[in-house]
Structure 1
Amino acid sequence: HEGRAAIRYNGKEIIKGNYWNQYVKAHLFPKDDTYERRMHEGFPFIDNTALELGVFDQRCFYQAFDEFENQNIDKSLVSDNLIVRIFAVLDRRVGKRRLISMRNFMEDQPPVFQEIYAIRVHHEGL
């Protein structure tokens, strides 16, 4: 069965999505350079727009985790898949020094990634 997926923190769903949204909200996608990719790939193209609209499901999490698990942390941190990047920034292999150095480019990152990063930095006491 198809279902939903979410990342929760302190009782709040930071990101959430479900299978149904892939069809119901498809018309809300901007007609930009990623539009064709979104409409024709087996798994939705996961960027900030997809996460904001909730246009992903548990299969996207499984696929993202598979990608994350089978490549080094450096590749995961620059992945096109925002969920992979989120998994990477939560990974303990990204230490305090790396987290500090990431501050320099955080303003260029999507809001949900910034929120996850801020949670991790907070828990590292930085």
Structure 2
Amino acid sequence: MTRAWITLDKQEILTLSSVVWLQELSEREQEIQASGRVGDYYAAHDAAKEELRQRGMVSVWDFEEALEMYLEISIEDALVSPDPIIKAVAMLDRRTGKRRLRQIDSESLVNPLVKRCYEIRCEAEGLSRAVEA
């Protein structure tokens, strides 16, 4: 099993553990199946995976895949990506200038990782538009 993390100034801003992710995924799948919201295992798996992603919890494998995809898309596409990892990295990318940062509606940032990266970047640029905790 693997673990990955991102640090900024010796503080972890993102921690990924395949063991923790798999445990959470399994629990969510079971809850979704028990609730009867979906009919089969594959639908429950997909729904559980999406719920975890929306909470800011992704697998190490998804993280690696998102980083590979990030390298192939424009900054405009990255900033509107539904993938929180791609969007978070775009917040830190120098191609996202101060003008673009000011144009971002901080209220629309729902993913915790995207919010945190936005806050970090605004602080680094001296902008007072950081997301309220």
Provide Cα deviations, 1:31-72, integer angstroms capped at 9, x if missing partner. 489xx667249xx54733142xxx411x32221111111011
Amino acid at match of 1:113: V
What are structure 2's unaligned runs of at least 5 residues? 128-133
Provide Cα deviations, 1:8-45, integer angstroms capped at 9, x if missing partner. 22322222111112321111477489xx667249xx54
Q: Which structure 2 residues correspond to residues 101-116 of structure 1 after superposition, within 5 A?
A: 101-102=103-104, 105-109=105-109, 110-116=111-117
* TM-score normalised according to structure 1 size: 0.75
Provide Cα deviations, 1:91-110, integer angstroms capped at 9, x if missing partner. 100001001111xx211212
Q: Which structure 2 residues correspond to residues 18-97 of structure 1 after superposition, within 5 A?
A: 18-26=17-25, 27-28=27-28, 31=32, 39-40=45-46, 45=50, 47-51=53-57, 55-57=58-60, 59-97=61-99
Secondary structure in structure 1 of the residue aligned to 2:55? helix
Corresponding residue for 2:122?
121
Larger deviation, residues 9-18 vs 70-79: 9-18
Residue 115 of structure 1 and its aligned partner are, at CA, apart by 1.7
Amino acid at match of 1:21: V
| Residues matched between the structures, number | 116
Corresponding residue for 2:7?
8
CA distance in 2, matches of 1:112, 1:62: 16
Percentage identity across aligned positions?
A: 27
* TM-score normalised according to structure 2 size: 0.72
Q: Is the 8 A contact 2:6 2:15 kept in 1?
A: yes
CA RMSD of aligned residues (A): 2.8
Secondary structure in structure 2 of the residue aligned to 1:14? strand
* Structure with the larger RCO, 1 or 2 (CA within 8 Å, 6+ apart): 1
